[in-house]
Chain A
Amino acid sequence: MSFPVLICDDSALARKQMARSLPATLNAEITFAVHGLDALEQLKKQSFKIMFLDLTMPELDGFGTLEAIKKHNIDVNVVVVSGDIQPKAKERVMALGAKAFLQKPIDQQALKQVLSELVLPTERNKAAYIPAAPVLSPALRRRDIYMEVANVSIGRAADALARHFDVFVHLPLPNVNIFEVSELHMALRDLSNNDQVSGVCQGFSGEGIAGEALVLLSDSSVSDLKKLMKIPADSDELEELELLMDVSNILVGSFLQGLGQQVEVRFFQSSPVLLGQHISIDSVINSTSGSFKKTMTFEVSYKIDGTSIRCDLLFMFVDESLPLLDNKLSYLMEDA
């Protein structure tokens, strides 16, 4: 007897990893969906015992998918598998009817525990030999791997921010691109919407992989941020500056932790440097024409729930770091 399972994730790597993590004894018959709307289509066509659902996806995210499942009374055990590990994200999905929450990258023990709760012993195949179910796994591209690695790291940074300020952070879909200098400038211009920004940069390195992080906070965000920090409104520029530096450092530090865990490198950030306060994006652009040709850039925009805080984060790995990073991530390609 086969066990129908639906895996819904926009990342090809994540779908593949999830499929591979399921124990053979489950004899799972796996169907893939690439976003929430796709998953709802599949749920209409046939019934599934378990659905593994990502949260951060295009078209319809995991929260929306859970709402739709609840609204249409679809009978399926949903296990949320996400890089968004904020306590409030977990609370929200459990309230929306999810049965369990697994953190990315998947821990085998945790998955085993969840499966033992959701799968009846009678549904398990006890046979000694099970012909391997042909899992039609999607082809992986280099970009898929970087996207998923970025996703998990971004989740860590959001969680750090959420815990530090006790807020809920809306997790964006990251962008990963290889940029030439001029393309990087175009990307920066796209971020700004003519608003004035404050910019902080911070270099980092680990085992020869070096890069720089850029944190841009729109001016309208700074006063809201002060409220979160409970700083008296009449405090001077100096404290605002320090707040800006601290927020940047927390975001950069926690992203690097998440990335470091996945590539097995310990990254060290150097001290944050202010590019400018209340400046136009053009003056930020002027300060990014350093000595590099190509950069791999991870772009993220965080928004904090109930505030107007918007924060753009760019992680740029330059020239000679790219092959090193590829090399460190090759384990994800190989076992595919």
Chain B
Amino acid sequence: MLNLPAEFEQFHWMVDMVQNVDLGLVVLDRDHNVQVWNGFMTHHSGIQAHDAIGKSLFELFPEIQPEWFKLKTKPVYDLGCRSFITWQQRPYLFKCRNVRPVTQQADFMYQNITLNPMRTPTGEIRSLFLSIQDATAEALASQA
């Protein structure tokens, strides 16, 4: 019984980290519906988690082309390997405001995105998660 509170505490830490890490985290199911939407995503996109969860990514962001995005998720589901969207190819997936609108000359946040497979305990891949990194500084440095 003594161990239980410690485990609970660890679990809370995990949730806290996912919510507050300086990285966007989004879980999508196979129909591209949002399952997790962390603090970074809420703060930068302005969409609240309760408004995002359960909705299709294409409904939330109509500018994302479904055909193109499905091509990106294909290796994740078929091969179980990561897939990447880098700012050099697509400046952003989710249009967010640049976090330093005053001192940085960018109209939006450049993003490096990784699509990662998520395995069920039996090894099946039924969902994936996106990690979204702010690459604005890198993009501006290389354009300078």
Task: List chain A positions with a Cβ less than 8 A from chain B.
Answer: 160, 163-164, 238, 241-242, 245-246, 249-250, 252-254, 256-257, 268-269, 271-272, 274
B116 closest partner in A (C-beta): A268
- The reply to whether B79 and A250 form a contact with Cβ atoms under 8 Å apart is yes
Q: A residues within 8 A CB of B74?
A: 164
Interface centre among B75, B80, B90 (most CB of A within 10 A): B75
Check A271–B75 contact: CB distance below 8 A.
no
**Given A271-B86, A271-B112, residue A257 in contact with residue B78 (CB < 8 A):** no
Known: A164-B75, A245-B89. 12 other contacts (CB 8 A): A160-B75, A164-B74, A241-B88, A242-B90, A245-B86, A246-B71, A249-B75, A253-B79, A254-B81, A257-B80, A271-B114, A272-B84
Give every chain B residue within 8 A of A252 (Cβ-Cβ): 81
Is the Cβ of B80 less than 8 Å from the Cβ of A271? Answer: no
Rounded to whole Å, the gap between the CB of B83 and the closest CB of chain A is 6
Q: Are A268 and B78 touching (Cβ within 8 A)?
A: no
Q: Which residue of B lies closest to A244 (CB)?
A: B89
Knowing A271-B112, A271-B114, the reply to whether A253 touches B82 (Cβ < 8 A) is: yes
Known: A249-B75, A253-B75. A271 touches B84 (CB 8 A): yes
Distance of A254 Cα from B79 Cα, bound (Å): 7
Q: Closest Cβ of chain A: how far from B86's Cβ, in Å?
A: 6
Query: Could you tell me the distance between the alpha carbons of A274 and B78 in the complex, rounded to whole angstroms?
Result: 24
**Residue from B79, B86, B112 in contact with A160 in the complex, judged by beta carbons closer than 8 Å:** B79
Secondary structure dominating the interface of B: mixed
Sample of 22 A–B contacts (CB below 8 Å): A160-B78, A164-B74, A241-B88, A241-B89, A242-B90, A245-B89, A246-B71, A246-B72, A249-B81, A249-B82, A250-B75, A252-B81, A253-B75, A253-B83, A254-B79, A254-B81, A257-B79, A269-B82, A271-B84, A271-B86, A271-B112, A272-B84
The 7 closest A-B pairs by CB, nearest first: A253-B81, A271-B84, A242-B89, A250-B75, A254-B79, A160-B79, A271-B86
Residues of the A chain whose Cβ atoms lie less than 8 Å from the Cβ of B81: 249-250, 252-254, 256-257, 269
- A residues in contact with B75, CB < 8 Å: 160, 164, 246, 249-250, 253
Q: Could you tell me if A164 and B78 are in contact, using CB atoms closer than 8 angstroms?
A: yes
Could you say which residues of chain B place their CB within 8 Å of the CB of A272? Answer: 84, 86
Q: How far is the CB of A164 from chain B (nearest CB, A)?
A: 7
Please report which residues of chain B, range 105-144, place their CB below 8 angstroms from some CB of chain A when the two chains form the complex: 112, 114
A238 touching B79, Cβ below 8 Å: no
A274 to B88: give the CA distance in the assembly, Å: 9
Residues of B near A250 (CB, < 8 A) are 75, 79, 81
Q: Nearest chain A CB to B4's CB is how many angstroms away?
A: 31
The complex places the Cα of A269 from the Cα of B74 at a distance, in Å, of 16
Are A238 and B78 CB-contacts (below 8 A) given A249-B83, A271-B112, A272-B84?
A: no
Closest to A272 in B: B84
The answer for the CA separation of A333 and B47 in the assembled complex, in Å, is 56
**CA of A246 to CA of B78, assembled, Å:** 14
